[in-house]
Amino acid sequence: MSTATATPRQGPLLGLRVLEFASIGPGPHCAMLLADLGAEVIRIEREGGNGWPNPVVDRGRKRLTLDIRTEAGRDQCLTLAEGADVLIEGLRPGVMERLGLGPEQVHERNPRLVYGRMTGWGQTGPLAQSAGHDINYLAITGALAAIGGREGPAIPPLNLVGDFGGGSLYLAFGIMAALWERERSGVGQVVDAAIVDGVSSMMTFFAGLLPSGTISLERDRNLLAGAAPHYRCYTCADGRDIAVGPLEPQFLAELMQRIDAPDVLRQGCNDPVLWAEQSEALASLFASRTQAEWCALLEGSDACFAPVLNLEEAAQHPHMQQRGVYRDIDGALHAAPAPRFSRTPGAVRSSTNASGWDGRS
């Protein structure tokens, strides 16, 4: 176990100043990404917090508790915004404007500010004022309908897809793009990052392949959603799962050779008509050995294989350990800053009470 308290700020974003208004989910995750890569982030929190304390995602900030509904709180936020490069907020559309902290009010004090707005539905549209969560945003984009078994309703994945894939990562990308443009124009702008937009952007891979018939989004015919026998998970003799994904012919041949598969499994894997029969045959075969035995036979080969691990086991896997993907800090697993940089690596830092940033540039 280690601590991040004494870790100096470092990374390619060293010198970037970010003002974050506390929220939940993708907004804090985006701020974490920026802080990990060296940005100085000061978070404005309300008394009592937001109900979702998270020592991992909330790392790397300075914290300041303010009542932004008061004139004094608003004025202090505007003063802080004067010295910031980026502002991140994840409130419902219109709330920041009513508080006197919307883009127009802030840009009057700091026209160079990049104002990042994180929502599920977006700043505009019929649903913009409606409550929602990851599952709802996935549902409306066409992504959720493609996830699940052959029968029954769609199955929501972890909110990796919406909140963080389509949300925080697109917000971070938008902020970086706006900062790049500011180098030429000299002025900031508003980044409207909506999860429905981000997930729809992520769905372009599938949308581009649908017309040619290369892929189907029907759950019983979707090559990449667990319907194909050579791209799914199987349960082993000890009840543990493994994942196989040899989509290319040479990798499929490698898997079949290593597991000594019967002829029925060595052909026709691209024919959905045969998938159910082949999946049953593979399920029976993989159930004959333990997860550890399959790891010994397949891991590190071109069979496109991996054991299905829980979070604690993942942190202990030799590959993850060698790369230092996870660190145990104060009893919590922290993922290393990502991506990695050759000259200016990021660092995991703890949060502190705000001090030393008076809002002046």
Q: pLDDT per residue over 250-274, tens digit each?
A: 999 999 999 999 887 877 677 888 8
Residue 63: is its pLDDT beyond 70? yes
* Structural tokens at position 93: 């559309």
What number is the average pLDDT over the span 15-25? 96
Quote the pLDDT of residue 352.
82
* Rounded-to-integer distance, Cα 323 and Cα 45, Å: 34
What pLDDT score was predicted for residue 356?
Answer: 60
As annotated, the active-site residues are 133, 163
> 53 falls in which pLDDT band (50, 70, 90)?
confident
Q: Do domains 17-202+326-353 and 241-307 have the same CATH topology?
A: no
Give CA–CA dist 168/176, Å, rounded.
12
In CATH, what is the architecture of 241-307?
2-Layer Sandwich (3.30)
Cα→Cα distances 352→15, 60, 300, Å: 18, 8, 42
Element (H, E) at 313: helix 311-316
**pLDDT tens profile 210-256:** 999 888 999 999 999 999 999 999 999 999 999 999 999 999 999 99
Question: Where residue 47 falls among pLDDT bands split at 50, 70, 90?
Answer: confident
Tell me if 337 sits within 8 A of 346, measured CB to CB. Answer: yes
List the strands of the sheet with 305-307, edge to edge: 232-235, 241-244, 305-307
Label residue 29 exposed, middle or buried (CB < 10 Å: 0-12, 13-18, 19+).
buried
Domain residue ranges in the chain: 17-202+326-353, 241-307
User: Could you tell me which residue, 252 or 357, shows the higher pLDDT?
Assistant: 252
User: Would the pTM count as exceeding 0.85?
Assistant: yes
Please, what CATH class does the domain formed by 17-202+326-353 belong to? Answer: alpha beta
Q: How far apart, in whole angstroms, are the C-alpha atoms of residue 183 and residue 169?
A: 22
Q: What is the mean pLDDT of the chain?
A: 93
The residue that leads in pLDDT, 353 or 97, is 97
